[in-house]
Structure 1
Amino acid sequence: MGIEEKKYLVFTYGTLKRGFPNHVLLEDLIKSGDAEYLGIYKSKNKYPLVCGPYKVPFLLNFPDSGNQINGELYSVSKLGLDRMDELEGISNGHYERLPIQIISAAEDDEEQSGSGGSVVEAVAYYGHRNYAEELWKRNGQKGFSKYSEEEAKGYIRRKDRPKNVTFIQHINLFISDSSSSDSN
Structure 2
Amino acid sequence: MGHGTMATPPTTTITAKTTLVFTYGTLKRGFSNHVLMQDLIRSGDASLKGVYQTLEKYPLVCGPYRVPFLLNKPGTGHRVTGELYVVSPRGLSRLDELEGIARGHYVRQPIRLAAAEKEGGDLEAEHATSSCVVEAYYAHKSYEEELWKRNGGRSFGAYTENEARGYVKRKDRPQHLTFLDHIRIFVSSPCD
Structure 2 length as normaliser, TM-score? Answer: 0.87
**Partner AA of 1:54 in structure 2:** Y
In structure 2, stretches of 5+ residues that fail to align are 1-8, 125-132
Which residue number in structure 2 is paired with residue 2 of structure 1? 10
The one of 89, 93, 111 equivalent to 2:100 is 89
Which residue number in structure 1 is paired with residue 79 of structure 2? 68
Q: Deviation per CA, 1:127-178, whole angstroms, max 9, x where unpaired?
A: 0000001100000011000000000000000011011100100000000002
Which residue number in structure 2 is paired with residue 164 of structure 1? 176
Q: Deviation per CA, 1:77-97, whole angstroms, max 9, x where unpaired?
A: 001000000000001111000
Quote how far apart the aligned CAs of 1:118 are: 1.8
Mapped to 2, the partners of 1:143 and 1:85 lie a distance apart of 24
Coordinate RMSD, CA, aligned? 1.1
Mapped to 1, the partners of 2:90 and 2:173 lie a distance apart of 27
Is the Cα contact below 8 Å between 1:44 and 1:119 reproduced in 2? no
In structure 1, stretches of 5+ residues that fail to align are 111-115
SS in 1 for 2:184: helix
Which residue number in structure 1 is paired with residue 117 of structure 2? 106
Runs of 4+ more than 6 Å apart: none
Q: Deviation per CA, 1:70-121, whole angstroms, max 9, x where unpaired?
A: 00000000010000000000011110000000011025xx4xxxxx522344
Q: Deviation per CA, 1:57-78, whole angstroms, max 9, x where unpaired?
A: 0000000000000000000000
Structure 1 length as normaliser, TM-score? Answer: 0.91
Identical aligned residues as a percent: 57
- For these two proteins, the number of residue pairs brought into alignment is 173
Which residue number in structure 2 is paired with residue 48 of structure 1? 59
Structure showing greater Rg: 2
Question: Do residues 26 (structure 1) and 26 (structure 2) align?
Answer: no
The one of 12, 15, 19 equivalent to 2:23 is 12
SS in 2 for 1:18: coil
Question: Do residues 127 (structure 1) and 139 (structure 2) align?
Answer: yes
Alignment of 1:146-157 (within 5 A): 146-157=158-169
Is the Cα contact below 8 Å between 1:45 and 1:63 reproduced in 2? yes
Mapped to 1, the partners of 2:135 and 2:62 lie a distance apart of 20
Mapped to 2, the partners of 1:11 and 1:44 lie a distance apart of 12
Mapped to 1, the partners of 2:171 and 2:181 lie a distance apart of 16
Which residue number in structure 2 is paired with residue 118 of structure 1? 122
Mapped to 1, the partners of 2:137 and 2:122 lie a distance apart of 22
Mapped to 1, the partners of 2:142 and 2:96 lie a distance apart of 17
